[in-house]
Amino acid sequence: MSLRVSRKGYAVTCALAICSTLALAPAFGADFPMGTFEGKQTPIAVSFDAKGQFRVMEGDTLEVMGTYAATATELSLTDIQGPWACSKASEKTGTYTWKYENAALTLIKLTDKCEDRVKSLVGVAWQWHK
């Protein structure tokens, strides 16, 4: 038995494979800054990695861990675990506009029912650390 794949069939198969991969990959804005940011007036650090995960640390203690997705102007944070994690279904995810200038990340709330997360993130100039 011989397998023969037409060019059209091959192109469709490749397109489906690429779309599947993109659908499963985290969404990052081309300019969203990854790394660790520290608040000037707070002992808290927030880090964003290339795998779409964020961590909030207070000193050496992990307080919140979750996932994030970013577009060119918006950042979505979803808490997964940690003592500071917003665990109610309606509070797990918050969406913010983000701006990165002069090595500082600033966030403005768009929608977020987790008031503790809003108080922690908004109004702070998060300085890039590493």
Cβ atoms of 70 and 32 within 8 Å: the answer is yes
The token pair that represents 53 in the structure block? 């995960």
Residue 89 has a pLDDT of: 95
Residue 42 has a pLDDT of: 83
Question: Among residues 48, 47, 79, 49, which one has the least CA distance to residue 64?
Answer: 79
Q: Which one is the CATH code of 35-128: 1.10.287, 2.40.128, 3.40.50, 1.10.8? A: 2.40.128
Q: Are strands 93-101 and 104-111 parallel, antiparallel or unpaired?
A: antiparallel
Residue 61 has a pLDDT of: 96
Instruction: Compute mean pLDDT per 10 residues along the chain, 130 residues long, and list them.
Output: 46 36 43 92 92 96 97 97 96 97 95 95 89
Domain ranges for the chain, please list them. 35-128
Residue 41 has a pLDDT of: 78
